[in-house]
């Protein structure tokens, strides 16, 4: 079998595999948005069956034969195809490390745990979901050990590598240590400066969900989301799901405060645009995927935090909100919106946290999930450990588990090793935005007119179209001239909050 023919068969195999994963993604969206609660057991079996079929397609002996034959003649392939082949080998290596019964058990356990989490979160009842989470953690540890043996990475590194290729715990620690120290210095100074200025005027509701929904859809369209191949719905935990050609974003609405829905939709649009602009020539192939979850978070946060909370964009958004909701025009003045939406205040909820305190939420979760994976923290002790960590990092006494260890879906859905991506993504977003504005000064003027187009065009070229060609450092280096540089994030924080 020739290398080119073998590579062609691999392209076909991975296209079929991607189609199965897309079907699973739509089922996952349906689970979070549409599925009746009583259907959870059946959905768990469906998800497990799809996971088992996809795993079998990637691990059957013929897949290994095709990879070996293609690699033997890889010099005959184009450079992009060689990169795609290397990513295929990576996926095969990780898949063959895991027994099929473990893959199926993991999918089934996560579906059951996520369903239980929805009820437990609503009633703040951690003991109700604890046995399910304990089973997920047990399987995650088994998965991590198997991946560790196959890759030579530590168990936790092997999990992180699945979300952001090349990321290690040592690298995270090297970034998070100085970050925690910097925030410890900056936070008191920000709070002091903030206290010396007039408090923002609160927005006076109610803000009808129908009006919020219409404004959010309009903002998503302005960001560049094409609703001919996308949906906007509601879920307990906002997310971007679906597929690059069938994008599903969600948010949640609060009639007392529209900020959560508006900024949540803009955040998820950043994810959605990344998916929509991935290289079409490698659709349903590893090179046509995103560069990892830290890269993905950089795209959501550059839209939400860097662009949408900028003075320029708020000067345009204020009048749109006044038109949508009515009320006191002073509350929608750009300076007031800036004081509201850039207000720093330690809080319990990660997704509602400001930029300065947000990293503390991630550091807490990173510490706890490392301990859970290592076996140093029992699931039964998670609420107490969480509450102690919040007291240490943000000085807060957590009132209940709904605002504590039940607030995020990730662990209950088996996503261990994901959380560092959020803060690394915030750092990447600051670095990318500074480079984009320096290269294309018209970006700021466009935002003042409510247009994301110049910024999104730059991102589409520098980030989205690169697919999985680079790891995070390589992607940032290609776009900005240097790998991940935490100094860009510090510069952003000091300029926005202390400048």
Question: If you ran DSSP here, which 8-state letter would residue 283 be given?
Answer: T
Q: Which residues contact 366 (CB under 8 A, 6 or more apart)?
A: 172, 176, 419, 420
Q: Can you give the residue range of the structural domain that contains 343?
A: 154-499
Contact 50, 24 (CB under 8 A): yes
Domain's final residue, options 118, 152, 186: 152
Rounded Cα distance between 311 and 315, Å, is 6
**C-alpha of 319 from chain center:** 30
Q: Tell me, yes or no, whether 378 and 330 share the same domain.
A: yes
Q: Tell me, yes or no, whether 83 and 169 share the same domain.
A: no
Q: Which residues contact 378 (CB under 8 A, 6 or more apart)?
A: none
Q: Tell me, yes or no, whether 278 and 424 share the same domain.
A: yes
Rounded Cα distance between 345 and 368, Å, is 23
Active site residue 268: yes
Contact 100, 52 (CB under 8 A): yes
Q: Look at the chain and report how many structural domains it folds into.
A: 2
Q: Tell me, yes or no, whether 396 and 344 share the same domain.
A: yes
Residue 237: what pLDDT? 82
Q: Tell me, yes or no, whether 220 and 87 share the same domain.
A: no
Rounded Cα distance between 25 and 18, Å, is 10
Q: Tell me, yes or no, whether 105 and 225 share the same domain.
A: no
Residue among 102, 98, 241 nearest 158 (CA)? 98
Q: Tell me, yes or no, whether 437 and 485 share the same domain.
A: yes
Rounded Cα distance between 347 and 133, Å, is 25
Residue 409: what pLDDT? 94
Q: What is the 3-state secondary structure (H, E, C) of 65-77?
A: HHHHHHHHCHHHC
Structure tokens at 357: 């305190």
Q: Tell me, yes or no, whether 265 and 297 share the same domain.
A: yes
Domain's final residue, options 152, 184, 205: 152
Strand order in the sheet with 246-251: 230-234, 246-251, 240-243
Q: Tell me, yes or no, whether 40 and 181 share the same domain.
A: no
Q: Give, in degrees to the nearest 5, the angle at Cα 382 between 381 and 384.
A: 70
Q: Which of 66, 104, 135, 268 is catalytic?
A: 268
Query: Which residues of the chain are modeled with pLDDT < 50?
Result: none
Domain's final residue, options 152, 183, 206: 152
Q: Tell me, yes or no, whether 176 and 148 share the same domain.
A: no
Helices (H), 34-154: 40-59, 61-72, 79-96, 100-123, 126-151
Residue 1: what pLDDT? 61
CATH number at 388 reads 1.10.1370.30
Q: Tell me, yes or no, whether 117 and 185 share the same domain.
A: no
Q: Tell me, yes or no, whether 25 and 56 share the same domain.
A: yes
Main-chain phi, psi angles of 415, to 5 degrees: -90, 85
Half-sphere exposure of 171 (CA within 13 A, CB side): 19
Residue 4: what pLDDT? 94
């Amino acid at each position: 079998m020739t290398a080119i023919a073998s590579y062609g068969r691999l392209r076909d195999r991975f296209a079929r595999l991607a189609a199965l994963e897309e079907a699973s993604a739509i089922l996952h969206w349906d689970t979070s948005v549409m599925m009746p609660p009583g259907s959870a057991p059946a959905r768990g079996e469906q998800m497990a069956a799809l996971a088992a079929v996809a795993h079998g397609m990637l691990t059957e002996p013929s897949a290994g034969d095709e990879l070996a034959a293609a690699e033997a003649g890889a010099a005959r392939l184009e450079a992009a195809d060689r990169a795609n082949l290397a990513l295929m080998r990576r996926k095969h290596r990780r898949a063959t490390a895991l027994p099929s019964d473990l893959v199926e058990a993991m999918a089934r356990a996560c579906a059951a745990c996520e369903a239980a989490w929805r009820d437990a979160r609503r009633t703040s009842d951690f003991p109700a979901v604890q046995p399910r989470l304990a089973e997920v953690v047990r399987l995650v540890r088994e998965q991590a050990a198997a991946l560790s043996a196959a890759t030579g990475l530590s168990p936790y590194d092997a999990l992180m590598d699945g979300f952001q290729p090349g990321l290690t715990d040592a690298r995270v620690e090297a970034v998070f240590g100085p970050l925690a120290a910097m925030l410890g210095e900056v936070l008191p100074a920000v709070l002091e400066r903030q206290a010396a200025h007039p408090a923002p005027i609160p927005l006076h509701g109610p803000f009808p969900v129908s009006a919020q929904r219409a404004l959010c859809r309009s903002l998503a369209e302005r960001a560049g989301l094409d609703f001919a191949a996308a949906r906007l719905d509601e879920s307990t935990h906002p997310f971007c799901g679906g597929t690059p050609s069938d994008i599903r974003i969600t948010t949640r609405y609060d009639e007392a405060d529209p900020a959560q829905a508006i900024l949540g939709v803009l955040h998820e649009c950043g994810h959605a645009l990344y998916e929509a602009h991935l290289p079409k020539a490698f659709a349903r192939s590893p090179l046509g995927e995103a560069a990892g979850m830290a890269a993905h978070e950089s795209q959501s946060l550059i839209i939400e935090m860097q662009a949408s909370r900028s003075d320029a964009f708020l000067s345009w958004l204020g009048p749109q909100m006044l038109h949508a909701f009515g009320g006191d025009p002073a509350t929608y003045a750009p300076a007031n919106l800036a004081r509201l939406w850039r207000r720093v205040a330690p809080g319990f909820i990660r997704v509602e946290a400001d930029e300065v305190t947000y990293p503390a939420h991630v550091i807490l979760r990173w510490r706890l999930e490392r301990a859970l994976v290592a076996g140093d923290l029992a699931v039964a002790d998670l609420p107490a450990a969480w509450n102690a960590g919040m007291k240490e990092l943000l000085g807060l006494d957590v009132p209940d588990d709904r605002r504590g260890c039940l607030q995020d879906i990730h662990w209950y859905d088996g996503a261990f090793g994901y959380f560092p991506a959020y803060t690394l993504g915030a750092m990447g977003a600051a670095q990318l935005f500074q480079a984009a504005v320096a290269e294309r000064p018209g970006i700021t003027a466009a935002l003042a007119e409510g247009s994301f187009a110049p910024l999104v065009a730059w991102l589409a070229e520098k980030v989205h179209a690169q697919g999985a060609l680079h790891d995070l450092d390589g992607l940032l280096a290609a776009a900005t001239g240097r790998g991940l540089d935490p100094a860009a994030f510090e510069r952003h924080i000091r300029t926005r909050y202390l400048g």
